[in-house]
């Protein structure tokens, strides 16, 4: 029988949001690995992806924006027996909290980071994020984003090639499931960059 | 030996072992059962500049270093004119220069007796330019009638790999002094009134208190003057296998790691100074709302911004009390001396565990990096309070259950059925996010009601001196030593009582009752705006007659306080 990681709260994402897929895939793989929900700590960043927080019933920490990795590192260092995960978006993990990501990658600490990368700040209605393609017109860049985007896989590999980092297009459910599985099984730091289009604000991207 | 307090000062550029010679001198004092209190000044430099270490010592308790110096050693030439104001007619100034080489202007202004000490020549005879500091120590050992062999043993224990070299340096200074300075020898007869066992810096004492309090997670980013605690604790990890000391990427990382560690069950503290503490503010607010107890060891230095990094100030009290956005309970305690630094090392962990909220221990450079002799702190075994922990939760466990007194038992991750969400958002009893008006108010009230227990458990104020005097001195933190030392030396000491506040937030209403018993109130603070005055004014009718402030980066010296109290 699969382990139950669900709270009684119904998810509040937009109809058609990729986070429903991610939610299903993470639960399935945790259960397949027999991760005990009383030994599991999920850390949530702030944003649409951070809103996973209320839908899980495990030990959890809905942290500050950008700081989910730092909080997760504290938990894992304090008690290495805990199974520690992070769920966040491209804004929190690659922007606000980039220094913590770099630090975690350098240390190859055994935490699992899942990034719902939709190239935008969506909860705040669609401003440019660190992964927004150059030229995209968003509410905070009405004349077009002048910055080149961060490539998280290249960035992380350049810091520490020994960690697990892969990008996956969420539309390929089989591949998403397999990548999450391998990340959870990896004996060190693992990050899955989960590419998805925001159903509410994604149309404005110049991709 | 009379009751007199002696003060010695070593001065020279950074990198010449000024701090080391000071530490050695203190070790020798302890071996002779003296009490001591020291103070160091150093620039934000690795080499060069002007470093000093001064030690005041006596056979009675010395609460603070004195301003006026009995003996000064300029380890290299020209490191004494900076201290002209600290000399008396009896001060002995030793320097490696001839009196006719000295700038006549300095000589004219100078009080005291200038004595030429050929440190460079003596060091060359020994074969190392480095030992000028230990040669000076040999001279001091002669002048203070220290046991020569004991002195050598202590120096050898300190410079293990250079024992012979430094023993010869001690002998050389001792012999030179015997030949040339015998008329200045103080024939001290030792009649110890106390048995001193050791001396500690405030940062060390705090760290020992943290360890005694079963602290097992300490996280910091190097920042003077708090770094001493990071170094001390980092080196203890072998002896304490459960202890984790982390130097994180920045203070934001430090503070958020600490939240995670404390949530996961560790007894957690972070260490920093004003600038780093500013970066930790958001995480402190997170601790407040998610009810995670973390200790912030804040060792202040003068700001704003980078300020004067290696000097002292009590300028962050309001910042500490007002830290973190939003409204949540917080406890701010301030040690006044080395023993209290130790006590607050474990008390803060107990408070954080019990009240489940941020606890700030506010010290400063003067206390954190100065030493005072005291009992052997490593022998003290304090009571440990782990707080209310739920080990066997039922299937409907509510981490944030409304309760009398506001404290709800917590589960440690790993506990069966104890799953809950710690949340930076306002939340319900399970921890799930809410925007409901009734819940928001109830949760605020639940958290705020924890102040009642905080008031009960937080350290009580000390009242010293004549409790029926007319005048009451009020202060907090590191000014305690200079005030007590001043009261020891002032002629009309029975005119004064001294109230030392140890808990700065929340303010205990009993303070008002104590204050009301005195006619004249004098506040002393090492800052420029009278921050304690502001806090007390915010709590009750408070109008001190005199406020003495100092904000030049230096601590108060007892002589200054005597002068201010006499005015």
* Sheet containing strand B295-300, strands side by side: B244-247, B217-220, B268-272, B295-300, B359-364, B331-333, B503-505
> Tell me, what's the pLDDT at B1?
34
What letter does residue A58 receive in the DSSP assignment? S
Q: Is residue A5 part of a domain?
A: no
Size of interface A-B (CB pairs under 8 A): 132
Alpha helices in B84-159 (DSSP H): 104-109, 119-126, 132-143, 148-158
Is residue B11 within 8 A of residue B51, CB to CB? The reply is: yes
Q: Over pLDDT 90: what percentage of chain B?
A: 93
Q: Is residue A10 part of a domain?
A: no
Count: domains in chain A? 1
For tokens 């405030």, name the residue.
B202
> Tell me, what's the pLDDT at A103?
98
Please count the other Cβ atoms lying within 10 Å of the Cβ belonging to residue B184. Answer: 16
Please count the other Cβ atoms lying within 10 Å of the Cβ belonging to residue B126. Answer: 19
Q: Measured between CA atoms, how close is A106 to chain B, in angstroms?
A: 11
> Where residue A55 sits, what CATH number does that domain have?
3.40.50.970
| A78 with B249: Cβ contact below 8 A | no
Report residue B282 as tokens. 């958001």
Q: Measured between CA atoms, how close is A94 to chain B, in angstroms?
A: 15
pLDDT of A65 over the 80 cut: yes
| A70 with B253: Cβ contact below 8 A | yes
- Point out which residues pair with B363 in neighbouring strands: B299
CATH, domain B199-379, list 3.40.50.300, 3.40.640.10, 1.10.3720.10, 3.40.50.970:
3.40.50.970
Q: Measured between CA atoms, how close is A51 to chain B, in angstroms?
A: 9
| B258 with A74: Cβ contact below 8 A | yes
Q: Which residues of B touch A79 (CB under 8 A)?
A: 264-266, 413-414
Q: Measured between CA atoms, how close is B319 to chain A, in angstroms?
A: 21
**Could you say which of B248, B414, B421 has the minimum Cβ distance to residue A79?**
B414
Which tens digit of pLDDT belongs to each residue from B257-276?
999 999 999 999 999 999 99
Is residue B284 within 8 A of residue B259, CB to CB? The reply is: no
Domain B460-566 has CATH 1.10.1740.10: no
Cα B564 to Cα B100: distance, rounded to the nearest angstrom: 39
pLDDT of B2 over the 50 cut: no
CATH architecture of the domain B6-196 equals 3-Layer(aba) Sandwich (3.40)
> Tell me, what's the pLDDT at B192?
57
Is residue B55 within 8 A of residue B29, CB to CB? The reply is: yes
Cα B286 to Cα B255: distance, rounded to the nearest angstrom: 10
Structural domain including A106 reads 19-204
| B421 with A54: Cβ contact below 8 A | yes
What letter does residue B5 receive in the DSSP assignment? P
| B244 with A77: Cβ contact below 8 A | yes
Q: Over pLDDT 70: what percentage of chain A?
A: 99
User: Residue B231 contacts by C-beta under 8 Å, 6 or more apart in sequence?
Assistant: none
Q: Which residues of B touch A81 (CB under 8 A)?
A: 414
Q: Given CB atoms, is A9 within the 8 Å cutoff of chain B?
A: yes
Is residue B151 within 8 A of residue B170, CB to CB? The reply is: yes
For tokens 């289009």, name the residue.
A197
Overall size of chain B counted in residues: 567
> Tell me, what's the pLDDT at A153?
98
Which tens digit of pLDDT belongs to each residue from A108-139?
999 999 999 999 999 999 999 999 999 999 99
Average pLDDT (A80-106) is 98
Please count the other Cβ atoms lying within 10 Å of the Cβ belonging to residue B90. Answer: 13
| A75 with B414: Cβ contact below 8 A | no
Q: Given CB atoms, is A10 within the 8 Å cutoff of chain B?
A: no
| A99 with B261: Cβ contact below 8 A | no
Question: B6-196 and B199-379: same fold?
Answer: no
Which tens digit of pLDDT belongs to each residue from A9-48?
999 999 999 999 999 999 999 999 999 999 999 999 999 9
Cα B180 to Cα B117: distance, rounded to the nearest angstrom: 9
**Could you say which of B416, B423, B424 has the minimum Cβ distance to residue A38?**
B416
Which tens digit of pLDDT belongs to each residue from A164-195?
999 999 999 999 999 999 999 999 999 999 99
Cα B274 to Cα A188: distance, rounded to the nearest angstrom: 35
| A37 with B419: Cβ contact below 8 A | yes
3-state secondary structure of B14: strand
Is residue B270 within 8 A of residue B206, CB to CB? The reply is: no
- Secondary element (H or E) of residue B476: strand B471-476
Reference B297, options B240, B233, B355, B236; nearest CA is: B233
Q: Is residue A77 part of a domain?
A: yes
Please count the other Cβ atoms lying within 10 Å of the Cβ belonging to residue B499. Answer: 20
What letter does residue A45 receive in the DSSP assignment? -
pLDDT of B3 over the 70 cut: no
| A79 with B265: Cβ contact below 8 A | yes
Average pLDDT, chain B: 96
Confidence of residue B196 (pLDDT cuts 50, 70, 90): low
Cα B126 to Cα B124: distance, rounded to the nearest angstrom: 5
**Could you say which of B283, B417, B422 has the minimum Cβ distance to residue A38?**
B417
Which tens digit of pLDDT belongs to each residue from B464-520?
999 999 999 999 999 999 999 999 999 999 999 999 999 999 999 999 999 999 999
Q: Measured between CA atoms, how close is A80 to chain B, in angstroms?
A: 10
Q: Given CB atoms, is A105 within the 8 Å cutoff of chain B?
A: no
Interface of B with A (CB under 8 A): 216-217, 219, 244, 246, 248-250, 252-253, 256-266, 268, 282-283, 286, 290, 413-425, 431-433
Q: Which residues of A touch B423 (CB under 8 A)?
A: 53, 61-62
| B419 with A62: Cβ contact below 8 A | no
pLDDT of B190 over the 70 cut: no
Q: Is residue A27 part of a domain?
A: yes
Sign of the dihedral through C-alpha B42, B46, B47, B49: negative
pLDDT of B104 over the 90 cut: no
Q: Which residues of B touch A93 (CB under 8 A)?
A: none
| A74 with B219: Cβ contact below 8 A | yes
**Whether complex ipTM tops 0.95:** yes
Is residue B496 within 8 A of residue B471, CB to CB? The reply is: yes
**Cis peptide leading into residue A53 (ω within 30°):** no
Q: Measured between CA atoms, how close is B260 to chain A, in angstroms?
A: 4
Cα A161 to Cα A101: distance, rounded to the nearest angstrom: 14
Is residue A116 within 8 A of residue A19, CB to CB? The reply is: yes
Which tens digit of pLDDT belongs to each residue from B204-219?
999 999 999 999 999 9
| A75 with B432: Cβ contact below 8 A | no
Confidence of residue B366 (pLDDT cuts 50, 70, 90): very high
| B422 with A61: Cβ contact below 8 A | yes
Q: Measured between CA atoms, how close is A96 to chain B, in angstroms?
A: 11
User: Residue B477 contacts by C-beta under 8 Å, 6 or more apart in sequence?
Assistant: B314, B334, B335, B336, B362, B363, B364, B367, B526
Domain boundaries, chain B: 6-196, 199-379, 460-566
Average pLDDT (B102-112) is 86
Q: Is residue A13 part of a domain?
A: no
């Amino acid at each position: 029988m699969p382990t139950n990681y669900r709270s009684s709260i119904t998810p509040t994402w937009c109809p058609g949001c990729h986070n429903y897929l991610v939610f299903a895939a993470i639960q399935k793989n945790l259960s397949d690995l027999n991760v005990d929900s009383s030994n599991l700590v999920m850390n949530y960043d702030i944003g649409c992806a951070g809103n996973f927080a209320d839908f899980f019933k495990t030990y959890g920490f809905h942290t500050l924006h950008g700081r989910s990795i730092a909080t997760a590192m504290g938990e894992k260092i304090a008690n290495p027996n805990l199974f520690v995960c992070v769920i966040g978006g491209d804004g929190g993990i690659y922007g606000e909290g980039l220094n913590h990501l770099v630090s975690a990658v350098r240390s190859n600490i055994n935490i699992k980071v899942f990034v719902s990368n939709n190239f935008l700040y969506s909860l705040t209605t669609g401003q440019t994020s660190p992964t927004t393609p150059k030229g995209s017109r968003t509410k905070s860049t009405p004349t077009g984003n002048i910055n080149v985007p961060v490539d998280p896989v290249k960035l992380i590999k350049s810091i520490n090639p020994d960690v697990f980092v892969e990008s996956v297009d969420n539309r390929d459910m089989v591949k998403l499931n397999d990548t999450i599985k391998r990340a959870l099984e990896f004996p060190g730091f693992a990050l899955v960059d989960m590419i998805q289009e925001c159903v509410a604000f994604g149309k404005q991207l110049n991709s | 030996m009379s009751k007199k307090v002696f003060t010695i000062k070593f001065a020279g550029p950074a990198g010449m072992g000024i701090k080391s010679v000071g530490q050695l001198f203190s070790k020798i004092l302890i071996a002779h059962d003296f009490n001591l209190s020291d103070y160091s000044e150093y620039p934000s430099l690795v080499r060069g500049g002007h470093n000093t270490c001064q030690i005041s010592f006596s056979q009675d308790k010395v609460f603070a270093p004195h301003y006026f110096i009995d003996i000064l050693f300029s380890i290299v030439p020209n490191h004494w004119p900076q201290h002209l104001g600290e000399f008396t007619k009896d001060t002995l100034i030793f320097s490696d220069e001839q009196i006719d080489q000295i700038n006549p202007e300095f000589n004219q202004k100078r009080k005291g007796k200038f004595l030429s000490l050929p440190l460079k020549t003596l060091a060359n005879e020994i074969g190392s330019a480095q030992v000028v500091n230990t040669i000076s120590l040999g001279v001091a050992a002669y002048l203070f009638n220290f046991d020569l062999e004991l002195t050598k043993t202590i120096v050898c224990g300190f410079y293990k790999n250079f024992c012979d070299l430094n023993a010869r340096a001690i002998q050389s200074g001792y012999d030179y002094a015997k030949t040339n300075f015998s008329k200045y020898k103080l024939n001290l007869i030792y009649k110890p009134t106390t048995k001193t066992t050791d001396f500690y810096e405030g940062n060390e004492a705090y760290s020992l208190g943290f360890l005694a309090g079963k602290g097992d997670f300490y996280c910091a980013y190097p920042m003077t003057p708090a770094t001493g605690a990071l170094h001390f604790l980092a080196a203890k990890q072998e002896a304490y296998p459960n202890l984790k000391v982390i130097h994180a990427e920045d203070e934001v990382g430090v503070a958020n790691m600490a939240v995670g560690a404390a949530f996961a069950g560790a007894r957690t503290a972070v260490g920093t100074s004003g600038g780093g503490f500013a970066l930790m503010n958001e995480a402190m607010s997170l601790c407040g709302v998610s009810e995670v107890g973390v200790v912030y060891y804040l060792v202040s230095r003068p700001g704003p911004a980078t300020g004067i990094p290696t000097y002292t100030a009590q300028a962050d009290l309001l910042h500490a009390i007002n830290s973190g956005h939003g409204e949540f309970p917080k406890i701010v305690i301030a040690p006044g001396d080395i023993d209290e630094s130790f006590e607050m090392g474990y008390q803060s962990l107990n408070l954080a565990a019990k009240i489940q909220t941020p606890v700030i221990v506010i010290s400063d450079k003067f206390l954190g990096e100065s030493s005072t002799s005291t009992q052997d702190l490593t022998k003290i075994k304090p009571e440990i309070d782990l707080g209310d922990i739920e080990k066997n939760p039922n299937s409907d466990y509510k981490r944030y259950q409304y309760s009398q007194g506001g404290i709800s038992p917590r589960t440690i991750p790993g506990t069966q059925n104890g799953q809950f969400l710690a949340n930076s958002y306002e939340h319900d009893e399970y921890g799930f996010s809410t925007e409901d008006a009734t819940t928001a108010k109830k949760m605020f009230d639940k958290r705020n009601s924890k102040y009642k227990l905080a008031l009960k458990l937080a350290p009580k104020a000390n009242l010293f001196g004549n409790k029926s005097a007319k005048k009451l001195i009020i202060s907090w933190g590191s000014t305690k030593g200079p005030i007590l030392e001043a009261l020891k030396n002032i002629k009309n000491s029975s005119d004064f009582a001294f109230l030392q506040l140890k808990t700065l937030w929340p303010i205990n209403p009993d303070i008002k009752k104590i204050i009301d018993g005195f006619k004249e109130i004098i506040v002393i603070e090492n800052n420029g705006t009278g921050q304690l005055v502001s806090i007390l004014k915010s709590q009750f009718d408070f109008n001190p007659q005199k406020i003495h402030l100092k904000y030049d980066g230096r601590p108060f010296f007892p002589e200054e306080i005597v002068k201010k109290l006499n005015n």
